Structure 1
Amino acid sequence: MLGESACTVEDAEEYFNLYMHAIKAIGESADINDCFKSQGVSIKLSSLHSRYEFSQFGNIAEELRAKLLELCHEAKKYNISLCIDAEESERLEMSLVLFEQLRLDESLSEWEGLGLAVQAYQKRALSVLDFVEDVAIRSKHKVMVRLVKGAYWDSEIKRTQELGLIGYPVFTRKSHTDVCYLACAQKLLSKENHFYPCFGTHNAYTFATIIELADKNHPGFEFQRLHGMGKSLYDYAISELATSINCRIYAPVGKHSDLLPYLIRRLLENGANSSFVNQVNDSDVKIEELVSDPLEKVKSLEYEPHPSIPLPRDIFGEERKNSLGMDISDSIAVSQFANDIREFSEKKWQVGPIIDGESFLDSAEFTEVVNPAHLENVIGEVSSATSAHALNALEIAHSAFTKWQNVSAEERAKCLEKAADLLEERMKELIYILIVEAGKILSDAIAEVREAIDFLRYYAMIAKNELNDWKKLSGPTGEDNFIFFEGRGVFLCISPWNFPLAIFIGQVSAALAAGNAVLAKPAEQTPIIAYEAVKILHEAGIPKNVLHLIPGDGWYLGKTLVPDNRISGVAFTGSTQTAQIINRMLASRDGPIVPLIAETGGLNAMIVDSSALLEQVTKDVLISAFRSGGQRCSALRVLFIQEDIAEKQVKMICNAAQELKIGDPIQLSTDIGPIIDKASIDMLTKHTEKISRDEDSNLLFKVPMDTNSYNGYFFPPYIYEIQKISQLKQEVFGPILHIIRFNKSQLNEVISDINNTGYGLTFSLQSRVQSQIALISKKISVGNVYINRNQIGAAVGTQPFGGRGLSGTGPKAGGPNYLQRFSIEKVVSVNTTACGGNIKLACLD
């Protein structure tokens, strides 16, 4: 049955009804009372619930089990089979739990039609069969197992690399998958009392091997082929070689709109160069190669993984390691993390300025730091820096600059790399602090620590490659010309609360890598994570007189430091208004003109044309607009939808948003944690009140939230429809999405309206028309353009991040040109003929 990954409750209900209809239609037409021989139905669990995700499994398991039980009872009534299809590896555990519950359910005790698909490309395939066998023994039933190679291989590789996991859940060589398939086949055939094997294959060698493996007295198994594929193989094989063996035709049934994802997977799977289906039609492939023993091939390769698919840790090559992630779809990893962080839950931090390596903790001046999700939970206290602290730190940093600048870029880079390793070692504590201090949900906290690690390693790599040596420039003979980068002096780095570790580390590490001394000023809301980061940097070898932490009131400290001529540059991430104030303060100084490296916000837009995939758009909109409570400078603020699909698309987005879970970010099931503080709540409330009074605005949806059950700064996502982007005068930093419909003929006007806001940070386009993609990508004036994906979560070194206009000065953070802005250039020209002649020229042959 076609259809997967339901986006809404309505989608899931529709798929359920389609499944029930199919079971009834097949059952009523069945002419044989044998579930192993009659027709059956294969279903995907992701189509039966819009939140079929590991993080939500505790909330949805019973509901999903009840739906499956109802489907199984219907199949039992007609004694036909129902197979639970295989999906992505992160859903395997859930499917096995549900399979076990169903197979052991007493109400299904007289029915043997429950089946399960197993993917041989997964390294866990044999272990899955062990599990299924155990369930078969305990339930006293034979289980129908559909053995396939697998159809999500490319996406499994990509996901694992993005998450920075230790290894892949799938084999990276097809020959390893082929061997695993045969090993699984051998196990299935050897356990004839527990399995009814179903071999999905179009490979003649696999077919022949299974025939050889099977005992002539085996009570029964079958082959399966896809509708429209492998017909000639099976017509011959079944009629000539295996006349007593059944072949089931696996036929996709469903709506045309659900066909595309299925069809693409089939084309990729069977159209690959290594595929038997592809090779059998290639006259250049010799018969011997086509039917070679995969085990012998694996032995000849010494069991090595594919050399062109490095482990996730190594995808950036030898110059830098990828940051290590955590798989939160793994129940063991999640359980271990929950146990590990218990030791931090009782901890109370005391933090303050760190000047020349010494912490200044004035108990008379402590301010409480509270958990934004639980205002009664005081996680620590902070002593803010005074003007005297700030000026003292500046004096020490200014004196230390020259010595630090003269340290080689190679040595500076080693300190950053050591810091990255330390962050990785202490990842769990840092994740915990991000959750309780900044209100980050678990997945966001993991991603942020990884981003900080990536910044350290990336800037270390750039420093070694670009800042380490004099670079020779071309010129006339008799003269040598060199360019060299040096530090500027003392940088003031001002970081925000929404990425209190990643951006904090990104700014500081860039300034340090370039040879500058640093005063680090974290956001007032998040001093604890900054304090821990500075301690780690000092431990990694950054001199204590070079890096100083000055937490406290930004306006007060800014007035003290920015006008001082000893400040040689400012790196700032925050609001456009604050960046403009800093810019004016720097411009009013006498003395050297110094750089302001600013990353600010934006009225970020997404355009969706009529060719876009509605389900893909829905998923990307929810992530872009509401992930992190919309508290990202890259978040989607204004969604433009072409009128032709607007009604259906808007409905799908609103229905899907209804399923979002607001709550304590330490809970795995939480999608949206708290807003950072009361001032932010007040700002969001003010905006919703204002826009609700606007005659050109209409509230489409508000995510349900019981305010009485929270003692924190929570704010539900809102979705409004407005007429023009000009109704919004500035960025609204939170979970509020504005939708505008447009006619196809208005596309150029829409692009102009977006550009005319003056902001230019992120933009997303959802379209399957290549000419449209090329045109809009060229015309839109923003720093980061994303095509057919969400517009948040830029990766260091892969998607350098930063805007233009009101959204920032550039250069892009995490990009190849960022460190140069923290540096100053020196050119040295040497007249090599000054000693009496051009020796090099004179000595030519």
Structure 2
Amino acid sequence: MQQKLWINGKFEESQAYKSLKSPYSHEVLADIAQASAEDVKKAIDAAESAAKEMRSLPAYKRAEILERVVELLKEKRTECAKIIAREAAKPLKAALTEVDRTILTYQFASQEARKINGETIPMDGAPGGEGRVAYTVREPLGVIGAITPFNFPMNLVAHKVGPAIAAGNAVVLKPASQTPLSSYKIAELFAEAGLPSGALNIVTGSGSTVGDVLISDDRVAMITFTGSPEVGKSIRENAGLKRVTLELGSNSAVVIDENTDVRKIVPRIVAGAFNFQGQVCISVQRIFVHEAVFSTFVENFVEEAKKLKLGDPLDETTDVSALISQADVDRAQSWIDEAVKNGAELALGGKSTEGVLHPTVLLNVDLSEKISCEEAFAPVVHINSFKDFDTALHSVNDSKYGLQAGVFTNDLPKAFHAANTLHVGGVMINDFPTFRVDHMPYGGVKQSGTGREGIKYAIEEMTELKLVSFHLN
């Protein structure tokens, strides 16, 4: 199968194609179009033209288009999940959950499309403002350049496309090279739902080729990117006056206080660590447990992790499948080996089978080890003990990242203290840092990024505030 580019509401040929293979079976899934710089400019041309139509499209019509996409996704739920499972090696049950979240994300977008508003300004609050009435409105930016990762190839696309369309913008989307088929499917659904041609364009290919054009073209008003800190920094440095939203890396931590019922929380934290092979921006990577419950927690955690089934992502019983590439397996394996060599205890895993890295648990890892201070993006966690609650909070903050953190405690003052102390974008009290619902504000500090997603908050990023003032005298 040849997968062509999607430009101006139709599939367009490209001069070059590249085979897309399953990370698990290595079968060829499709030959994917590789956009040239001229192809990307053509997509921007289409978006620029469509942006004029989108700007004048009433809010209720934008909402109705998004509602129709929701209904189409419901009809094609299993088909969409299988696309994700094949191209990303995401276990089918996790892929089905992603489609369900994608449906909700577009539902939230349709609701927010009807609620974009401004406010009145009391101009007479300042001398000289008498006799004036003023109000603000939010207007679309125009063309949004969206760059998405492989790990949530439908829902993270929805977090960029949904608010952009809701706000009346047009989009040029560059999906991850390993997971383009999910995006092309969404483009077809939007076309069927009645989205104006050119309002959503999909260009696949080299990140440098596509990204460089999106960043350098002045017609693109904003770049919204989810991916690595290195690429995010480059985008921000080269984007000029464009708006930029960046959702970057993390090594999310959870703190477990001495008064916690560890047996009750272990299954949830295991899920947070190993769902989709740990390839989640807010996957649990660092666990800090009070010494009073450390042994009990470790014992229960390891036993729960042993229950996970490894294998084919299309098998509905599979929990953990192949990492996105063999290079990622090799990288994670080297970090594990290095930590063990330097004194960490290997309590579980530490090996791989045909691209599947076994769920791995390390104990008492030095916090300077890569497996602790870098983003693992693999099914690997380390569990360290602590005596003092503040020491644990300091260990969480002692990171270049700051996306989300979790704290389990039954001590209310400690909970508020943690919420005030932790330097992250979101603090989850009595929950794991992997918790996210799709309408909440989501984003990080430090090298975890800038700006916020979550439909309402993304719409604020994707609109311009305009003041209108009437002099009544």
TM-score range (shorter-chain normalised) is over 0.9
The correspondence for 1:450, drawn from 100, 119, 122, is 100
Q: 2:201 aligns with which of 548, 555, 570?
A: 548
Instruction: Name the residue aligned to 2:127.
Output: none
Counterpart for residue 441 of structure 2: 800
Does the 8 Å contact 1:663/1:673 carry over to 2? yes
What does residue range 260-659 of structure 1 map to in structure 2 within 5 Å? 349-362=1-14, 365-375=16-26, 377-467=27-117, 471-476=119-124, 478-587=131-240, 593-659=241-307
Q: 1:552 to 1:361 in 2, by over 3 A?
A: same
Residue 823 (str. 1) matches residue 457 (str. 2): no
Tell me the equivalent position of 2:376: 732
- Residues 627, 749 of structure 1: CA spacing in aligned structure 2 closer, same or farther, 3 A cutoff? same
Verify the 8 A CA contact 1:354 1:548 in the aligned structure 2.
yes
In structure 2, relative to structure 1, the CA distance for the partners of 1:816 and 1:490 (3 Å cut) is closer
Task: State how many pairs are aligned.
Answer: 466
Matched, 1:776 2:418: yes
Distance 2:157 2:425 in 1: 21
Tell me what 1:176 maps to: none
Contact 2:146 2:172 in 1 (8 A): yes
Matched, 1:759 2:398: no
1:764 offset after TM fit, Å? 1.1
- Deviation, 1:724, is 4.1
Contact 1:435/1:445 (CA < 8 Å) preserved in 2? Answer: yes
Query: CA contact under 8 A between 1:761 and 1:804: conserved in structure 2?
Result: yes
Ranges in structure 2 where 5+ consecutive residues have no aligned partner: 125-129
The answer for the alignment partner of 1:701 in structure 2 is: 348
CA shift in 2, pair 1:830/1:368, >3 Å: same
1:721 aligns with 2:373: no
**Contact 1:658 1:704 (C-alpha < 8 Å) held by counterparts:** no
The structure-2 alpha-carbon separation of the partners of 1:723 and 1:629, relative to structure 1 and needing over 3 Å to count, comes to closer
1-structure distance, mates of 2:438, 2:273: 21
Instruction: Provide Cα deviations, 1:524-581, integer angstroms capped at 9, x if missing partner.
Output: 0011111111111122121112211101111221122212211110000111111111
More strand by share: 2
Q: Secondary structure at the match of 1:562?
A: helix
**How far apart in 2 are the matches of 1:661 and 1:704?**
15
Match of 1:790 in 2: 432
Deviation at 1:656, TM superposition (A): 2.0
* Distance in 1 between residues matched to 2:262 and 2:49, nearest whole Å: 59
Structure with greater contact order relative to length (CA < 8 Å, sep ≥ 6): 2
Q: In 2, distance between residues paired with 1:358 and 1:416?
A: 19
Superposition RMSD in Å:
1.9
- Spell out the pairing of 1:60-99 with structure 2 (5 A cutoff): none
Query: Could you tell me which amino acid in structure 1 is paired with residue 423 of structure 2?
Result: S
3-state SS in 1 of match to 2:216: coil
3-state SS of the aligned residue for 1:644?
coil
Q: TM-score, normalization: structure 1?
A: 0.53
Structure 1 unaligned residues grouped into runs of 5+:
1-348, 588-592, 834-845
SS of the residue 2:416 aligns to: helix
CA contact (8 A) 1:726 1:753 kept: no
Q: Using a 3 Å threshold, how does the CA distance of structure 1 residues 723 and 672 change in structure 2: closer, same or farther? A: closer
Calculate percent identity across the aligned residue pairs.
26
More helix by share: 1
Deviations, residues 811-845 of structure 1 (Å, cap 9, x unaligned): 2x225322011001110000122xxxxxxxxxxxx
3-state DSSP class of the match of 1:817? helix
Distance 1:492 1:679 in 2: 28
Give the direction of change, closer, same or farther, for the CA distance of 1:558–1:499 in structure 2 (3 Å limit). same
* 8 Å contact kept, 2:253–2:285: yes
* Aligned 8 A contact 1:350 1:361 in 2: no
Aligned partners of 2:116 and 2:167 also within 8 Å: no
C-alpha separation between the residues in 2 aligned to 1:421 and 1:475? 45
Q: Within 2, Cα distance between the matches of 1:372 and 1:698? A: 30
Q: CA deviation at 1:704?
A: 7.5
Q: Compute the TM-score of the two structures, normalised by the length of structure 2.
A: 0.94
On the 8 A contact 2:147/2:224 being kept in 1, the answer is yes
* Residues 254 and 432 in structure 2, CA contact (< 8 A), matched pair in contact too: no
Give how far 1:720 is off. 1.2
Residue in 2 that maps onto 1:221: none
Q: Which amino acid aligns with 2:438?
A: V
Distance in 2, Cα, partners of 1:410 & 1:805 = 38
Stretches of 4+ moved more than 4 A in 1? none
- For residues 59-79 of structure 1, what are the alpha-carbon distances to aligned partners after superposition, in whole Å with 9 as ceiling and x for unaligned? xxxxxxxxxxxxxxxxxxxxx
Question: For residues 575 and 499 of structure 1, what CA distance do their matches in structure 2 show?
Answer: 14
Secondary structure, counterpart of 1:670 in structure 2: coil
Q: Secondary structure at the match of 1:616?
A: helix
Asked if the contact 1:658/1:703 (under 8 Å) is kept, the reply is no
* Secondary structure at the counterpart of residue 632 of structure 1: coil
**Secondary structure of the structure 2 residue equivalent to 1:480:** strand
Q: What is the distance in 2 between the residues matched to 1:465 and 1:740?
A: 46
C-alpha distance in 2 between matches for 1:718 and 1:558: 35
Equivalent pair of 1:517/1:547 in contact (CA under 8 Å): yes
Q: Which residue number corresponds to residue 325 of structure 1?
A: none
Which deviates more, 387-396 or 678-687? 678-687
Report the alpha carbon displacement of residue 793 of structure 1 after superposing the two structures with TM.
Answer: 4.4
CA contact (8 A) 1:458 1:814 kept: no
Q: How does 1:156-305 map to 2 (within 5 A)?
A: none
Q: Deviations over 1:701-724 (max 9, x none)?
A: 21776x3xx5xx311111112344
Instruction: Give deviations 1:641-663, integer Å, cap 9, x for gaps.
Output: 11111122112211221221111
In 1, distance between residues paired with 2:459 and 2:331?
A: 35
**443 and 531 in structure 1: CA distance in 2 versus 1, 3 angstrom threshold:** same
Deviations 1:417-464 (A, max 9, x none): 111111111111101111111112222112211221112121221121
Q: Quick one: distance in 1 between partners of 2:193 and 2:398?
A: 46
One-letter amino acid matched to 1:572: F
- Does 1:678 pair with 2:326? yes
Aligned residue type for 1:418 = R
Structure 2 SS opposite 1:634: coil
1:661 aligns with 2:309: yes
Q: Secondary structure at the match of 1:412?
A: helix
